[in-house]
Amino acid sequence: MRGSIGLAAWQARGDGSKTGTQGSRRHSGAGKPRRPVILCGIMRDLMPLRRFIYTSTMYLLTPVILYRLAVRGLRYPDYFSRWRERFGFFDNPSIRDSIWVHAVSMGEVNAALPLIDALMQRYQGAPFVITTVTPTGSDRVRRVYGNRVFNVYLPYDLPASIRRFLDRVQPRLVVVMETEIWPNLFLECAARHIPLIVANARLSEKSLRGYGPVRPLAQRALASAHYIAAQSATDAARLRDLGAEPERLGIVGNLKYDMTVPTELKVQAQTMRAAWGARRPVWIAASTHEGEEEPVLAAHAAVLRQFPDALLLLAPRHPERFKPVALACANFGFVTSTRSDDGSATVDTQCFVVDTLGELLRFYACADVAFVGGSLVPIGGHNVLEPAALSVPVIVGPQTFNFTEITASLIEVGAALCIDSGGDLGAAVIKLLADAPLRHTIGAAARAAFEREQGGVLRTVSIVEKVLDDAGAGAGAA
């Protein structure tokens, strides 16, 4: 189904002056043009039923949700200990007119940090609420902001849970990061006249197809947003197709380009490398998933044949895989140590597993070459801008559909290399480790591309100001 119900409804409202002329033409015998208008009206009438079916399904799935929380709680007690937050139950923070930012996990939190900092500077004194879905995201928020923000998990998309949450945090504005489109959340905010902005918005072709039976609800949800700030022209086109209204949609750029690189990072990296052996080649495989570690370890075996003193830094994406990955490194025959147990690699370490959170940027700064995971398996890739910002040459696999335009732009300017399969990884790493001038050229191109695309945070803050000003003017007029 192409097009959007939300957009069709807007067009029907906005073209009211034409309906009379078209109506008289239809009565005179031209019957076919009437069908789209009738269909649009029928689809609008079906919307309450669609929402009822969606919500009923969510409630019916609640036992499954609780079971899932219990299972995850076996690995991460934080999931189970805070399960009530997922249903809108938490101590009332007694705040009003808060600015609420939602970022699903650690990657989205990292992208949101420059925006949150800018908003806190712009709206000093306003209470801030930051919601996440994962413990890693929540932990990142609490480590960065501490008590300066109120942090809880986002409630499930159940009307009663959403209402309890909104009653407690009383948001003045909602900023939802990237791809989180929850129909009941968006529509409940619209019903309360709470402005909602989708920031750093992206939508892959796979995600667009994946909405399936809830697509009409997603269309209506997007149509209720006050503004959607898309990362790219491709994302904007897909969001338009899903239901974003053109006059409330703009291409703002990717906020990840506005990340801050700590000035002390370079000195820290030099100190760490000195402990490992300052002259030895170092490469990192970051944010890897199941199915990627085996080709990474095979690649490192090839690297060691060429550079016997080379060190691999291996950072799995998810904490539950830290121990299995460390065991796989040892079983492969590598001298292995971990960040949590050993603190640092030594001159004898061949594989160092980064089994902590929030330190990836530091270890990128230590590397001569970076492979960014999620790209050898159909995950869609991860953020290539962190190594690019540090002038570290980037290697990715073919599966980068979540970061298509960013990755393609880096490859186009010679700032990244794309391999066809895991079997090509070892050769690519060896090529870069053996050619220092090539590494410098690629790293400089990556840094230049990173700097060229900055400015999304300032543009997004301007949008927030405009939306809040319009909302204030509307409230005053009412």
Report the amino acid identity of residue 147. Answer: N
The structural domains of the chain, with segments of one domain joined by +, span 42-258+455-477, 265-452
Q: What burial class does residue 142 get, using C-beta atoms within 10 Å of its C-beta: 0-12 exposed, 13-18 middle, 19+ buried?
A: middle
Helix (H) or strand (E) holding 389: helix 385-389
CA distance 139 to 455: 27
- Indicate the SS3 state at residue 478: coil
The one-digit pLDDT tens for each residue of the chain (478 residues) are 333 333 233 333 333 333 333 333 333 344 444 444 444 554 456 788 888 888 898 889 888 888 877 777 777 776 677 889 999 999 999 999 999 999 999 889 999 999 999 999 999 999 999 999 988 899 999 999 999 999 999 999 999 999 999 999 999 999 999 988 899 999 999 999 999 999 999 988 888 888 877 888 888 999 999 999 999 999 999 999 998 999 999 999 999 999 888 888 989 999 999 999 989 999 999 999 999 999 999 999 999 999 999 999 999 998 889 999 999 999 999 999 999 999 999 999 999 999 998 899 999 999 999 999 999 999 999 999 999 999 999 999 999 988 888 899 999 999 999 999 999 999 999 999 999 999 999 999 999 999 999 999 999 999 999 999 988 766 655 5
Helices (H), 202-292: 205-210, 215-223, 233-242, 265-276
- Indicate the SS3 state at residue 396: strand
pLDDT value, residue 35: 46
pLDDT value, residue 362: 94
pLDDT value, residue 475: 62
Annotation: CATH topology of 265-452: Rossmann fold (3.40.50)
Annotation: CATH topology of 42-258+455-477: Rossmann fold (3.40.50)
Same CATH topology for 42-258+455-477 and 265-452: the answer is: yes
C-beta of residue 353 within 8 angstroms of C-beta of residue 336: yes
pLDDT value, residue 103: 97
Phi, psi of 199, rounded to the nearest 5 degrees: -105, 150
Helices (H), 229-377: 233-242, 265-276, 293-306, 322-331, 339-342, 360-366
Parallel, antiparallel, or unpaired: how do β-strands 311-316 and 351-353 relate? parallel
CA distance 318 to 316: 6
pLDDT value, residue 346: 94
Active site residues: 108
